[in-house]
Amino acid sequence: MNHIRRAFSLMEMLVVMALITLLISMLLPALSKAKEKGRTSKCLSNTRQHMMAMQMYIDENRGYLPGAHTAGAAPEGSMIWMPRIRKYANDHEELFNCPTADPQYYWKQEFGSGLPARYGYAADEIRIGNGNGRFTYGYNDWGVNEFTNPHHGLGNHIDRGGNPSYQWGEIKADSIASHSSMVAIADSTPDGIWDAVVDPNDQPHFPAERPSDRHDGGSNVVFVDMHAEYFRQEELLIRPGEPGDVDRARRWNRSNSPEVQDWLPYVP
């Protein structure tokens, strides 16, 4: 018996190719979403490890948190919370880089500053300068507003020269009213402007310091008690007069009070 092998016609090949293309177009969004979910989970794990390292720092430093940054301009004025806790994270700098963020904002140990070892930085290590360093996670330095005296956050303007009129600097963990509801570190908005700190102000002149929305419109947040959660960005920002603004503000202040007297008026 003769078997005649029939070749695909051009039309049949086009139909098959169209079906394959359709299947790929249906699968790609699901694969992309699964990949991003994995990156978000890795980021959440990073934030937990930040706070675990910070707790070890606290235990070895008489109960004090590291504080966000020193006073003054770069290079001496610099972000210090991350180098101060780095050794407690086994010097794994990848823990300080959100896998979803643009790699150009990743922290890499580089040398050539000419500065002495200080605040966790190695001798000659290039520091992340105040206001202009690139980073992907932010420390809650001031709380609901900047330059309040005393500040409401987790410490900043370290090494202010001992000026007693400024109630700034490192704070003790036991001064925090509620560890389980106090924001410590969150995904920051990397743009080269105060990337290593976060605050809740939703103002036209404060966009650089907002928690990020890169994880499907939100940010991973770790609290002082070391538990981490995901929040939509709008759940973290203060817009005075909106429902829930008091509860949102409490998360940012070590008093566990909204500190309404220090809110900025909301400007749409």
Supply the pLDDT for residue 265. Answer: 72
In a domain, 6, yes or no: no
For the chain, how many structural domains are there in total? Answer: 1
In a domain, 231, yes or no: yes
In a domain, 147, yes or no: yes
In a domain, 198, yes or no: yes
Output the pTM of the full model: 0.85
In a domain, 215, yes or no: yes
Reported as a single tens digit per residue, the pLDDT across 106-147 is: 999 999 999 999 999 999 999 998 878 899 999 999 999 988
Supply the pLDDT for residue 136. Answer: 95
In a domain, 54, yes or no: yes
Supply the pLDDT for residue 130. Answer: 83
Task: Produce one character per residue of 45-74: b if its CB has 16 or more CB atoms within 10 Å, e if not.
Answer: ebbbbbbebbbebbeeeeebbbbbbbbeeb
Residues of the chain with pLDDT under 50: none
Supply the pLDDT for residue 199. Answer: 92
In a domain, 99, yes or no: yes
* Tokens read off for 205: 């002149």
* Tokens read off for 175: 């001064």
In a domain, 8, yes or no: no
Q: Cα-atom radius of gyration of the chain, to the nearest Å?
A: 24
User: In terms of residue numbers, what domain contains 103?
Assistant: 37-262
How many other C-beta atoms are found inside a 10 Å radius of the C-beta of residue 122? 15
